[in-house]
Structure 1
């Protein structure tokens, strides 16, 4: 092999998986008896769907135009200056959602905008690991200059230290 040896000694936790991601289907919650949104019931609906259909994980990005974490000025191209990926919005109890998913055999992947994640990388990944999150989808890294490649490598290295899979 022309590759250098893997620096991660135990790679058993790195597994590809099939996941829900409500952004893909426009947040449709057919035949629901609850109010869809950034709440436990909507995530429970998708976790149950994943469990019934043999999917490995449920991806949480938020709902409609609101991410799962605090952001006072979010638009899907750029995070607001006060975005905080360590603070779920008040109506989301992330440990409860992760525990419910675990009880159904479903992992949780969190969607995050790279900028506010990078600002709190170690703190955020330690928190997610503590919650029992399986992995992340890091978005809007829309360039390939040296700085962005370095940032991507830092994110991947930190994720590996916390055993978080990056999609």
Structure 2
């Protein structure tokens, strides 16, 4: 059986924990705590990591590690990136601030490891599909990196995002074998 470690990262309140909870076949290990910053959206924030698992078939299991989104917990980004075969950068498509923060996080993860990644655009309304190109531009993502809409509360939407990344990972693994 092949184990594939995927890191789910992105800014605060982009939906990382919910994404993992939507597809995990096990109870998600989560380290969420009450927000200590009044005025920030959301009531809880991840302070260490989230962990979930999804079995693709009898040969492949994805282990999903969610990062904290706040920069003050960035020491966990390096730890969680060790051994990853790919990552998802999740953004709140309705928030310019979220997309801007995602750019900083993306730079960090690109420096950590040269692995495949996808960009997931959460909270994208049907009439905003053209925003995907703008997200690509702001993040300075090359054309070979998928930038996909992802409704994090819809299992099929999350699976589509993860399978797209998995195919890129498996191509990379086969090319180096």
TM-score, with structure 2 as normaliser: 0.43
- Larger strand percent: 2
Name which one, 1 or 2, has greater alpha-carbon Rg. Answer: 1
Q: Between Structure 1 and Structure 2, which shows a larger proportion of helix residues?
A: 2
